[in-house]
Amino acid sequence: MSHDFSLGTVDVSLTPLQRFEEFLQSRGKRVTQQRRIIVDRVFSHHEHFDADQLLEQLKSQVSDQSVSRPTVYRTLSELVDAGLLRKMVLNDRSVYEHDYGYPQHDHLHCEKCDKLIEFSSDEVKEIREAVARKHHFRAVGHRLIIYGLCADCSRTKRAARRLDLI
């Protein structure tokens, strides 16, 4: 597994697994086989995913390294606490995406094909700071999702209309 972390503001000299190990140790938790399997899988792809998909992926691996459902849930939540993953809710589904080693970004969400497109805009952060200042609010983060139709889906608008998606 290779990692190309050229962006971001945290120390990215460690692989996700190493960073997770640090986190676990700092909390007196253990580096288990299952946690390793999960981190490996999660950081071998950059797509967003939900708990079920991860479970499927683990089961369908050549080396069928399956992990139980409760352990997947438990580990995902640890990965969020560790700052390796970020959780968000997309049409009532909890999805996860890489946080560690990737720069802050926001999303365009296609309501037809469910595609998530990342973008980053310094202006969003500026607005966030300006608004926070105005309200004496201590901002620690934000989430911006722009929803609508992606290029592909708006091209096939007539098809979409037929399907009542517009």
For its own copies, the binding residues (CB under 8 A) are 89, 92, 94, 108, 110-111, 117, 119, 121, 123-124, 127-128, 131-132, 134-151, 154
Measured CA to CA in angstroms, residue 17 lies from 6, 40, 93, 108, 149 at distances of: 17, 7, 26, 29, 36
- Shortest Å, Cβ 54 to DNA: 10
Q: How far apart are CA 30 and CA 59, in angstroms?
A: 23
- Shortest Å, Cβ 36 to its own copies: 27
Count of other CB atoms within 10 angstroms of residue 105: 14
Q: Which of its own copies, DNA, none does residue 44 bind (CB under 5 to 8 Å by kind)?
A: none
Residue 113, sorted as left (phi over 0), alpha (psi -120 to 50) or beta, turns out to be: alpha
Count of other CB atoms within 10 angstroms of residue 119: 11
Q: Is 42 helix (H, G, I), strand (E, B) or coil?
A: helix
- Shortest Å, Cβ 37 to its own copies: 26
The residues that touch DNA, with contacts defined as CB under 7 A, are: 24, 28-35, 50-52, 66-71, 73-75, 77, 93-94
- Copy the structure tokens of residue 8: 């971001």
Q: Which is nearer to DNA, 65 or 156 (CB)?
A: 65
- Copy the structure tokens of residue 5: 């972390």
- Shortest Å, Cβ 158 to its own copies: 14
Q: Which is nearer to DNA, 51 or 165 (CB)?
A: 51
Q: Which is nearer to its own copies, 51 or 108 (CB)?
A: 108
Contact indicator for 3, 16 with CB cutoff of 8 Å: yes
Q: Which is nearer to DNA, 90 or 150 (CB)?
A: 90
